[in-house]
Structure 1
Amino acid sequence: MVAALLLAGIVAAPLSSLILFLPARPARHVTGTGAALRRLLLALAGTVVLAAVVYAALSLMDVRPRVAAAVVVIFGTASLLWLPATRRWSARGHVAWASNVFLGVAYLVFVIHWTLTGGLSRWATAGGLTLCLLELIAAGMAAAYLWELCDALGTERWRRRVPVDRSLRLARETRSRPPAGLPFVSLHVPAHNEPPEMVIDTLTRMSRIDYPRYEIVAIDDNTADEALWRPVQRWCATHGVKFMHLSDWPGYKSGALNYAFGELIDPATEIIGVVDSDYRIDSGFLRQCVPLFDDPRVGFIQAPQDYRDWQSVPYLRRLYYSYRYFFAVSQPSRNERDGAIFAGTMGLIRRAALHDVGGWDEWCITEDAELSLRLLRAGWSGLHVDASMGRGVMPLTFEALKSQRYRWCFGGIQMLRMHVRSLLPWRRTRHNRLTPGQRWAYLSGALQWYGDLLGLVFFVLLLAGATNLATGGDQLFRRLSVFLVATVPVLILLGLLRAVALLRRETGATWRDAAGAFFVWQSTSLVVARASVQGLFARRAEFLRTPKTGEHETVGQALRANGAETMLAVLGAAGIVAALTRLDTLSGPLLAGLLVLPTLGMAAAPFNSLAAQRALLPPELAARRRSEWQRDRHAVLAGTGAGLALAAAGAALFTALTLLTATGSGPVTPPDLDPGPRPATPAPASPPSSPSPSAPASATVEPSPSESAGPPAESPPASSPAPAGSPEVSPAG
């Protein structure tokens, strides 16, 4: 029965996922009882059709009719249980979600069942269960991505979304209101070591905003070089803009914003905005967003972070689309459950709400996202708007990008560590008004940072399997065959689908640029993995110092600046070569194929570093790239817990691998996908057989009597809860 359930998921998930990505005409009517009934009936019909396909497929595999019928009933019941949660989705979104989750659960049950009943020794069972735990964690992360994917592609009725046409309509309506009836807005522009020409350009464009009641407050945060902040001060003095230079001021950006909030704003201020010092803001920004505060429950509003001058530079195009995923897919999905993140720039906050939660917290380096969590916890609501109304500058060197990703991840883990009790599904209290949807949005968003760490662990497992196979032991690969063939490809392909399918669908990226965005995510995975561990133990972030570089970086400089990634890429290439030395088995080519994508991901780090430094930029951006290394500041890393945790994790992984490859006293039953009855007596022993992932599902390869290890690499296709099925799909959040 367990094997039949897994086979049913393998059939249903890829088919439903493929249908989800096919173009479809939008429904004309998405609200009202009739539209809800239509979605329900279509979801039921889709479930019935897919169940019939599953039954037919199982029948072709010689599954007994009684077992096939039971599997179909279980599959249909699982789909029906999700109907309340997916009632605003199309039938395609519902069926894709239900079938992929079904596949993931069936796979985990199958692997755990085999680990406990496959004849492994006691110690090997302990090692296998350790790896099953990793798969369970991976399945949870994949489910979070899967939900966003189905939500973005399947939702017919958005309850809270603010589309572009609504923003434009609000802007027109404000012109009919008297100026005195509009809220006063104080726009804050923090800067640190920025080129003065860029800051002045930002302030100049802000002074042209089409809104009658607002002020601009520029705060220079601890810039030591007077040549950078004095020109800005002089410009502000002649253009009626408030300016303050802070020297030796604590708290970094949040400390500067707290100073402006407490000392510089106009007493009439009702709304506070934050705009980064490199942004060119549209004149209609305030008219399109401020009317949303007419709802007294709204505490903050976030518009997308967008960027400029990227179209003609291949590296910047790849980077641009890697950023777009969050605001095109994640934020709308989170917003539907009132779990949107305040991302800092291009955001507005109600002054009363900011005062209510005590201002900006200076302990968290992602002070903007942390503030939004406290606002939601206090009972305020947040809104994401679709319209892009300002464009800034992306990191112009790859090392600056890694530093940014490090800070984002470290800050996300800081939030998780400090607010985890608020995010757990306990009863709401007077001090914690987060709904289950909001808790899930922030908890899953923080935990997703650990996907890169988990991917690094899987990469090590693949390297260990290649080494074991090349040295002739092949015990590790044979015992991990299901784990390797199912989990690792799905995790990698999960990222690939996000980059290619969703980016192409939601942003219009080309195939090449979407694939490039995927490898931008992969190339920063090592620094994110590091930050995800250090964030659990350190009180302050170890800001990665961006190295000073010249205009013409050499290959050697790019390799040295990304030394760890280069080393892992070399090890990956060596693992591919080692696996290919065993062409007499199918395990060798399979392992080599599994190592290709993570190896390319690591190799993409020095490649992106070189591409970013050699990119031809406009004079303004070229000057900023030369000084980009100055804008990162050092912070002391407190505590040694991160190093101890990494050592403990390595020891645990080594122990699990050792236990799993330990020999037992009896034969090991291979993980078999044959759902039919097993023979009463075992087949005679045969010479050792090489793993064969291409063998038919009903084939059972018996191990040699001299091998107590061994399932052959006859494993199911990728089968964790991947959004697009098997074959299928980082933040910045």
Structure 2
Amino acid sequence: MNPDAPPPGLSAQSLLSPGQAALGIGVVGFIAAAIALDLLTGFGPSPLQWAQGGMFALIVLYLAVIGFKLAMVLGSGRSTAMRFEPGALQTFPDTELPRYTVLVPLYREAAVVPGLVRRLSALDYPADKLEILLLVEADDGETRTALAAQGLGPAFKTVVVPDTLPKTKPKACNVGLARATGELCVIFDAEDRPDTDQLRKAALAFRVLPDRVVCVQAELQYWNPWTNWLTRCFSAEYATNFSLTLHGMDRHRLAIPLGGTSNHFRIDALRDLGGWDPYNVTEDADLGIRIARRGWDVRMFVSVTEEEANSRLGNWIRQRSRWIKGYMQTWLVHSREPVKLWRELGTRKTLAIHLTLGFSTVTTLINPLMWALTLSYFVFGPQWMEPLFPPVVLYGGMFAMIAGNALMCYALMLGCLKRGLYAAVRAMLTVPLYWGLMSVAAYKALGQLLQPSKRHFWELTEHGLDTSDEVEEEVVRAR
């Protein structure tokens, strides 16, 4: 299969399938007709009853998402993620190591090129079995010039990505995949700081795991958590997701939505899957679901790649809105044939996908409404709300917001403790403000998704905002 061509029906190039569009129009039309019938004849549910029913459904969904996330976090203690004892890597001699391809998509990353080349050069892997493909867009002369000035070693090759649409990371990765000569490959981003022995660990993991495991995902964390409040919250979120939630999903063998970097693949399986969907702006999450639908597995393994947390609000909003837009794309793509999805994955995995990708995004969108109603209850009293909502809706909604958000704060605190981010624990008391920013990003993402010209637009994340020297000083102060 051509790596530039995702499987039929599983591309995000179109927003909705004909069936999804017909279903959406049918549901909206039915509700509108029912409301019109009530207004004209008094027959059927009133608009208020429709609103009450919708609110009840949102509360149930809200509690389901929070319950699922907590179950994964609390279940991570019995994680079956791959761990390697000291000396384990020596059991896999260099002569038996497979050839490895490292794919590094770059766009306007000239500022971080020196550090990137230094870190990739430090990878502990035999030079004659290592291929590092630097994937640079054709219109990015500045990055190519910066790379040329580095005196790259023999393992490095600069690959120019054609200047064609869509201009996305997955398209660049597909260009690299077509040229890769390794048996295994991994994606690293421009600012990544992987453990030097990560390739050896991944190679050993593939050696001992069954062939149906076609991808192993390393843990991601941030190296600059102490820059400001935003990076503290971002680091806590990453710690909770990669060190707890995904470990819980690994334990229960659920479909794991991959991180955008440090996912290691068997190249033959990756090519058989059709590579990445160039139209999906969270190609990693989509690929994790496609792996599960093929009947293959993704496993977590204990090795860390450090990244740079966004320390500027505008940059953070651009990155987060792209992630949320991609989650929406992925959910819509894999919901096109729900019965087929259920047959391929079974009930548990199917529910987990909806709770992780779709319903979680819906809760982010409705958060402002839920907070506004809860605050209104306490500020203005229950007098005006009690006539509008039955007790189960009114007080169920308040319980969902107060208890649910408190439990999610607790989960983030556990993530901080897991990663040793002790000074960030108290910042989690203010994390609802962070979730408010996520809602802003979610509405931006929804707006872009509804615009054909912005649907596949890849908003670039600026890296190199924090220097290593500044971060070291912050770490020392935090201690």
Q: TM tier, shorter chain?
A: 0.7 to 0.9
Q: Are the equivalent residues in 2 in contact too, given 1:188–1:217 (CA < 8 A)?
A: yes
1:80-91 alignment to 2 at 5 Å?
none
Q: 1:355 maps to which residue?
A: 271
Q: 1:283 maps to which residue?
A: 196
Distance 2:346 2:190 in 1: 35
Residues 545 and 293 (structure 1 numbering): CA distance in 2 closer, same or farther, change over 3 Å? closer
Q: Are the equivalent residues in 2 in contact too, given 1:236–1:242 (CA < 8 A)?
A: no
Match of 1:498 among 387, 390, 408: 408
Q: Are the equivalent residues in 1 in contact too, given 2:334–2:341 (CA < 8 A)?
A: no
Distance 2:120 2:153 in 1: 15
| Offset from partner CA, 1:260-307 (integer Å, 9 cap, x none) | 1113x22xx111100001011211111222222122111111112211
Q: Are the equivalent residues in 2 in contact too, given 1:189–1:216 (CA < 8 A)?
A: yes
Distance 1:340 1:333 in 2: 10
Distance 1:156 1:238 in 2: 42
Match of 1:527 among 441, 464, 473: 441
**Is residue 2:118 matched to residue 1:204?**
yes
Number of aligned positions between the proteins: 415
Distance 1:210 1:350 in 2: 19
**Is residue 2:389 matched to residue 1:480?**
yes
Residues 259 and 523 (structure 1 numbering): CA distance in 2 closer, same or farther, change over 3 Å? same
Q: 1:150 maps to which residue?
A: 71
Q: 1:317 maps to which residue?
A: 232
Q: Are the equivalent residues in 2 in contact too, given 1:302–1:346 (CA < 8 A)?
A: yes
Residues 223 and 521 (structure 1 numbering): CA distance in 2 closer, same or farther, change over 3 Å? farther
Distance 1:280 1:156 in 2: 26
Distance 1:150 1:235 in 2: 47
Match of 1:436 among 335, 347, 362: 347
Task: Give the secondary-structure state (helix, strand or coil) at the position aligned to 1:136.
Answer: helix
Q: Are the equivalent residues in 1 in contact too, given 2:59–2:400 (CA < 8 A)?
A: no
Match of 2:107 among 192, 202, 219: 192
Distance 1:533 1:195 in 2: 31
Residues 480 and 259 (structure 1 numbering): CA distance in 2 closer, same or farther, change over 3 Å? same
Q: 1:701 maps to which residue?
A: none
Q: 1:227 offset after TM fit, Å?
A: 3.4
Q: 1:136 maps to which residue?
A: 57
Task: Give the secondary-structure state (helix, strand or coil) at the position aligned to 1:339.
Answer: coil
Distance 1:310 1:323 in 2: 11
Q: 1:398 offset after TM fit, Å?
A: 0.8
Match of 1:257 among 153, 169, 173: 173
Q: 1:377 maps to which residue?
A: 293
Distance 2:384 2:229 in 1: 44
| Offset from partner CA, 1:636-675 (integer Å, 9 cap, x none) | xxxxxxxxxxxxxxxxxxxxxxxxxxxxxxxxxxxxxxxx
TM-score (norm 2): 0.77
Residues 517 and 246 (structure 1 numbering): CA distance in 2 closer, same or farther, change over 3 Å? same
Distance 2:453 2:228 in 1: 38
Q: 1:255 offset after TM fit, Å?
A: 1.2
**Is residue 2:161 matched to residue 1:161?**
no
Residues 274 and 241 (structure 1 numbering): CA distance in 2 closer, same or farther, change over 3 Å? same
Q: 1:620 offset after TM fit, Å?
A: 7.3
Residues 397 and 620 (structure 1 numbering): CA distance in 2 closer, same or farther, change over 3 Å? farther
Match of 2:368 among 451, 456, 459: 456
Q: 1:365 offset after TM fit, Å?
A: 0.8
Q: Are the equivalent residues in 2 in contact too, given 1:193–1:223 (CA < 8 A)?
A: no
- Structure that is richer in strand per residue: 2
Q: Are the equivalent residues in 1 in contact too, given 2:132–2:156 (CA < 8 A)?
A: yes
Q: Are the equivalent residues in 2 in contact too, given 1:211–1:287 (CA < 8 A)?
A: yes
Aligned Cα root-mean-square deviation (Å): 3.3
Identity of aligned residues (%): 21
Structure number with larger C-alpha Rg: 1
Q: 1:143 offset after TM fit, Å?
A: 1.6
Distance 1:202 1:535 in 2: 32
> Structure 1, unaligned stretches of length 5 or more?
1-120, 549-612, 623-733
TM-score (norm 1): 0.52
Task: Give the secondary-structure state (helix, strand or coil) at the position aligned to 2:345.
Answer: coil
Q: 1:219 offset after TM fit, Å?
A: 1.1
Highest RCO, 1 vs 2 (Cα 8 Å, sep ≥ 6): 2
Task: Give the secondary-structure state (helix, strand or coil) at the position aligned to 1:309.
Answer: coil
